[in-house]
Chains A and B, each alone.
Chain A
Amino acid sequence: MTESSPVVPRKDDSVLVTEAKAGNYAAFEALVSRYEKKIYRLGLNLTGNPEDAEDVLQEAFLKAFAHLAEFREDARFYTWLVRIAINEGLMKLRKRRSDKAVPIEDAVGEEGEIIPREFTDWKPNPEQLYAQGEMETILQNAAQGLSPGFRAVFLLRDVEGLSTEETAQLLNLTEGAVKARLFRARLQLREGLSKVFKRG
């Protein structure tokens, strides 16, 4: 009879944070490994280019490391990390736009009506019809069609799974504004993707 190998229990974030605060680098690295893919994807979807996404990724974790002692553990570590990353990403976008003097938040009004124009059913399982790279380009192009403030709301709520309240606090918006932006962002993205995925 062979002995089964012992299962190493996955440590909670809060345990790893406590250990990292006490000077255990392996614990901090475990937190990085747990969330690096998600933070990179967030940076990529927000900024639309790999170089900026890498900067967002590095800055987010370097800042998290620098300010770890200040992290109050009444919030989730991941929410705190996302807050840092989204601020880094939005700062990058502001810099990119600074010559145009268009404030990110006001680029598109919240109240304008969205009128769907694409009513054709999508092809079933569109993700299986495209190579991974093609699908990523399609999704990024659609996301870049949103103004950054709306894109941030969509990414935080629908992709990162933050609550309306968390998203509102993080972006300094009212909960009503988060809901309004999310509604517009979802429909606008859907409209863009429908042009590509509709049954021909």
Chain B
Amino acid sequence: MNLLNCKDCLKEISSYLDGEMEPDLKRHLEEHLSLCHHCQVVFDSARKTIELYCDGRLFPLPLEVRDRLHRALRRRWEEKAS
């Protein structure tokens, strides 16, 4: 018997994503996810959301921004040294 309903499942989705969950609760949640398409979609898309924001290919540092940063730091370093 599955003890979790959708509302309970949703409340625990964040802990499940973090891998912070009591084994019994985890088992019940996974059982619910295997039976409930809506909760499975919420879980999958929440996980994918995090993956997208962590994608290192996105938001590259523009070369000119990098140059300005290194010039500013070099200037500050030389001021300190002089």
Chain A contact residues, CB within 8 Å of chain B: 23, 25, 28-29, 32, 36-37, 40-41, 44-45, 50, 54, 57-58, 61-62, 65-66, 114, 116, 118-122, 126-127, 132, 135-136, 139, 143, 154-155, 158-159, 179, 182-183, 186-187, 189-190, 193-194, 197
Residues of A contacting B77 with CB < 8 Å? 25, 28, 65
Asked whether B68 lies within 8 Å of A58 as measured between CB atoms, the reply is: yes
Known interface pairs A57-B65, A189-B49, A190-B46; 6 further A-B residue pairs with C-beta atoms within 8 A, sorted by A's residue number:
A32-B69, A32-B70, A45-B59, A54-B65, A57-B61, A182-B14
Pick from B13, B42, B54: contact of A158, CB under 8 Å: B54
Asked whether B52 lies within 8 Å of A187 as measured between CB atoms, the reply is: no
Please name the residue on chain B nearest to A37 by beta carbon.
B61
Query: Please, how many angstroms separate the alpha-carbon atoms of A65 and B52 in the complex?
Result: 31
Pick from B46, B61, B62: contact of A186, CB under 8 Å: B46
**A-B pairs with lowest CB-CB distance, top 6:** A183-B14, A41-B59, A119-B38, A40-B61, A190-B46, A190-B49
Chain B contact residues, CB within 8 Å of chain A: 10, 13-15, 17, 37-38, 41-42, 44-46, 48-50, 52-62, 65-66, 68-70, 72-74, 76-77, 81
**What's the least CB distance linking A188 to chain B, in Å?**
10
Residues of A contacting B10 with CB < 8 Å? 114, 116, 187
Most buried by A among B15, B53, B56: B53
Query: Please, how many angstroms separate the alpha-carbon atoms of A183 and B60 in the complex?
Result: 27
Residues of B contacting A194 with CB < 8 Å? 45
Residues of A contacting B55 with CB < 8 Å? 127
Query: Please, how many angstroms separate the alpha-carbon atoms of A135 and B70 in the complex?
Result: 28
Residues of A contacting B69 with CB < 8 Å? 32, 36, 54, 57-58, 61
Asked whether A158 lies within 8 Å of B50 as measured between CB atoms, the reply is: yes
